[in-house]
Amino acid sequence: MKKLSQLLLHRIALFAACISLSACGGNDQSTNEQGLRKNSAPPRIAVIASTAGSKKTIPPLYESPTAHFLAQPTIRAKTCGRDDVQEALDRAPDHSIIDIPSGDCDWKDLPVVKRRAGFWIRGATFGTTTIRRTSPVVMIKNEYADNHFLFEFDCSNAQSLEISNLTLIGNDKLQNEEQRFLDLDSGINLKNHCKDFQIHDSRFNDFSHTAIAISDLATNGVIYNNEFKGNFKCQTIPANCMGYGVMILGDSTWPDLTLGENNAVVVEDNLFSDNRHGVTSNEGSQYVVRRNTFESFDRSRNFAMIDAHGRTQKRGSRSWEIYQNKFIDKTTRRYNTASIGLRGGDGVIWGNIYEASFHTAVNFWPEASCKKRDGTFNTYPLSDQTTDAWVWGNIIQTPTLNFANYFGVVAPSECAKYFITGRDLHLEPKPHYRPLAYPHPLRRKT
């Protein structure tokens, strides 16, 4: 436990720094949230942009679990209370369905609910099974408390898992700035190489740290039809800023670059609204972010809605595929909003729609220092910096702006020579690239 706590502590340190694309800070204006209709799933993006700018309608999805879950018994928790949910998970055989009834349950400061993978856990219907935490979650003697997450699932048994129809709510709105500074409450943690997982038709709101955390390499699965709102914490004078919809971490190994394969965490058809980062990554991670809607508000405007860390002490993000998303600027301060900020890794960015005026569409800059202490330059390439990025076919819906200027390298200016168009950054389609089939193959299983 101590070793795991130290590892988690190191990881949080990498994300805790207030790294902004222009200036840290921003008005803490509350989000003008529009709730979804009761018992209805988050809206999917109905129209997307193709590489040619034409419109394509997304077909209805056939959503069903994998067959072995349906063939097993259904275990029903008595209530949505923490102990009742843990008891149901404990007595459920592998490949079973665990049903949590409708209700609104506060887990306060109770320990995390745990189980090995090999199940489908689901709420009653969308928006009716709510689990929240109102108590603070802080480090104790530099170690994480046992209630850092609401749920933690261990995939070391090589089983798959599925999670659906849950509403998980953190404590961020209930705290003052002093309390929020140390708070680390989070939703779901998937660890130890989870394979073929699904998380769908759920809500994740108001977590100080992260709604969903996924760690270790050789991890793949799909997160779809969810809503992530208000996962954000930052002080008036920015410090210890965090708040992520989905946090994807590898195991700090460095795989070969493979795009369009079923070897990544896929995030598709979700709504991300007013999070510090909707998606963030590090430590050799691989992800695909496609067909989502991202919204930025005043307090979150200075932070990229999609993020990838570069190398600090461990390895940076390995790969990203970011395409056919919609970015919406709901701030009152125009030209201060960033959409995609990449500090490392390689991949493709194409077919995205920018609905309003953004300060930047895509920014590339190094996590590692360009200069040594003696003033001389470090050798190219910097550790885990971007050297193979392809950007094309993106659309901005503000015709008075020149979209070609919306891709660039951020200061310090001496780092510009590490990012050269035609060598590290290509403003054209990547040859021979084919995206992973949509919808994600797991969503088609019966």
Cα dihedral sign for 71, 74, 75, 80? Answer: positive
DSSP structure class, residue 416: G
Conformation bin of residue 314: beta by default, left when phi > 0, alpha when psi is -120 to 50: beta
Pairing of strands 55-57, 47-49: antiparallel
CATH number of the domain enclosing 177 = 2.160.20
Query: Domain limits at 394?
Result: 2-444
The Cα angle at residue 284 between residues 281 and 286, in degrees rounded to 5:
65
Q: How far apart are CA 139 and CA 119, in angstroms?
A: 30
Shortest CA distance to 163 belongs to which of 78, 221, 245? 221
- In this prediction, residue 280 carries a pLDDT of 94
Residue 69 is inside which H or E element, if any? helix 67-70
Quickly tell me which residue has 């901005």 as its tokens. 396
Residue 83 is inside which H or E element, if any? helix 82-91
Contact 97, 69 (CB under 8 A): yes
Neighbour-count burial of 54, counting CB atoms closer than 10 A to its CB (0-12 exposed, 13-18 middle, 19+ buried): exposed
Per-residue confidence in pLDDT tens, the chain, 446 aa: 444 444 444 444 444 443 343 333 333 333 333 333 333 444 333 333 333 333 333 333 334 445 556 657 899 999 999 999 999 999 999 999 999 999 999 999 899 999 999 999 999 999 999 999 998 887 665 556 667 899 999 999 999 999 999 999 999 888 777 777 778 899 999 999 999 999 999 999 999 999 999 988 778 999 999 999 999 888 777 778 889 999 999 988 889 999 999 999 999 999 999 999 999 999 899 999 999 999 998 888 888 899 998 887 689 999 999 999 999 988 876 656 678 999 999 999 999 998 866 777 888 888 888 888 898 999 999 989 999 999 999 988 765 555 445 666 665 678 888 989 899 999 999 999 999 999 999 996 54
What is the layout of strands, in order, in the sheet containing 167-169? 103-106, 129-132, 167-169, 203-205, 227-229, 271-273, 293-296, 326-329, 353-354, 395-396
Q: What is the tally of structural domains in the chain?
A: 1
Shortest CA distance to 319 belongs to which of 352, 339, 344, 351? 344
